[in-house]
Amino acid sequence: MPPSTTNGTAADAAEEYFQTNPPPKALASHQALAREFVQYHHETSPGRRMVLVTSGGTTVPLENQTVRFIDNFSAGTRGATSAEYFLKNGYAVIFLHRQFSLLPYSRHYSHSTNCFLDFMDEDGPEGGVVVRKEYQEKMRRVLEEYHYAKQNRLLLLLPFTTVTEYLFELRGLAEIMRPIGSGALFYLAAAVSDFFIPRERMEEHKIQSREDNTGGVGSGNSRQLVINLDPVPKFLNNLVQSWAPTGSMVVSFKLETDPNLLVAKAEQALQRYQHDLVIGNLLTTRKWEVVFVTRDGGEHWIRVPKTRRSKSFSGIEADIGTAERKHEEHHVDLEGGKVTEGMEIESLIIPELAYLHGETMKQRAEQSA
């Protein structure tokens, strides 16, 4: 990692956040599982790389006994899909995910337009249940990959719900991964809330909608709820400078809706937090293209070939390429070939990232020699 440049004010704000918010109840048990997972791979496969994939959105509770909360649209698709491709590329994966968001392998069926039961059939008079013939090949492939990951203890699933739970988990896991050194990769795909309600201002019980609801988080009449939110302290710099293993690689994501802002915002994030890579994507083209932005000014676009782009209800084909600022010709965008099924862009992102991680490990080994 680069030399420490942690801003004192930011570090103080982060420390105050941890002191004024209680740790999640499951933190100790999660850390015990993670510590055993890291130790197992560090001892049995010393050269194996390990990635912490964060996935899904974080909630912001409005009450201590939470009934209402603020959320975002993330279902965890990017994180769950990426975790599978990290496993294919030889990584051990800690998957820190929003509870009930998509999971590796089961995502193929839990997030399908079909009901899961549509994949099944009754088998003759005995009443057995089988996978329908047209789904057997793909389901067998997914099942084999899942069994391999499970039998070889390559995947650890740890859930969170709130932004506070996420940040406590992230800090603890980063510190536990220190024995992995430069073989550790942080792939921060979770959609983390930017604002929260401090505990001292949070209602204890459910906010009432009655006309006499005053004070606390919400105020106003029965038709209005006014909420004052504070910014969540920026923790990425803490992760880079303090929590993560020395020499590890930190990758964050930047999602924008304005193509004119995407690359510039990614560059600003790198300058501010001094990590290794920002993967930028537009809301309307995120299934088909991303851009790798590095601190040396690199802008590397990765695109799914046009013949392999799956349909997307939220995607706009005309937006592809509109965020490209430097018009480089260095694209992973191979045309041609028989169209079988839609290609997942993560199948291009993760091998490229694994290569960059390997090169980073070599450079840092040379620097420390």
* pLDDT over 90 percentage in the chain: 78
Mean pLDDT of the region 159-180: 98
User: What is the C-alpha separation between 184 and 177, in angstroms, rounded?
Assistant: 7
pLDDT, residue 330, reads 46
pLDDT exceeds 90 at position 341: no
pLDDT, residue 345, reads 97
If pLDDT is split at 50, 70 and 90, which confidence band does 45 have? Answer: very high
Mean pLDDT of the region 15-26: 94
If pLDDT is split at 50, 70 and 90, which confidence band does 18 have? Answer: very high
User: What is the C-alpha separation between 337 and 241, in angstroms, rounded?
Assistant: 45
Helix (H, G, I), strand (E, B), or coil: what is residue 179? helix
Mean pLDDT of the region 77-97: 98
Query: Contact, 101 vs 55, CB < 8 A?
Result: yes
pLDDT in tens, 347-369: 999 999 999 999 999 999 999 87
If pLDDT is split at 50, 70 and 90, which confidence band does 212 have? Answer: low
Output 260 or 110, whichever has higher pLDDT. Answer: 260
50 bridge partner residues: 92, 184
For residue 329, the Cα-to-chain-centroid distance in whole angstroms is 28
Q: What is the mean pLDDT of the chain?
A: 90
Q: List Cα–Cα distances, 105 to 55, 102, 160, 352, in angstroms.
A: 14, 9, 19, 21
pLDDT exceeds 80 at position 37: yes
pLDDT exceeds 50 at position 54: yes
pLDDT in tens, 241-280: 999 999 999 999 999 999 999 999 999 999 999 999 999 9
Q: End-to-end CA distance of the chain: give it in Å, rounded.
A: 15
User: What is the C-alpha separation between 15 and 221, in angstroms, rounded?
Assistant: 37
Mean pLDDT of the region 142-162: 98
Query: Contact, 193 vs 58, CB < 8 A?
Result: yes
pLDDT, residue 334, reads 44
Mean pLDDT of the region 60-67: 95
Output 293 or 200, whichever has higher pLDDT. Answer: 293
pLDDT, residue 296, reads 86
pLDDT exceeds 60 at position 216: no
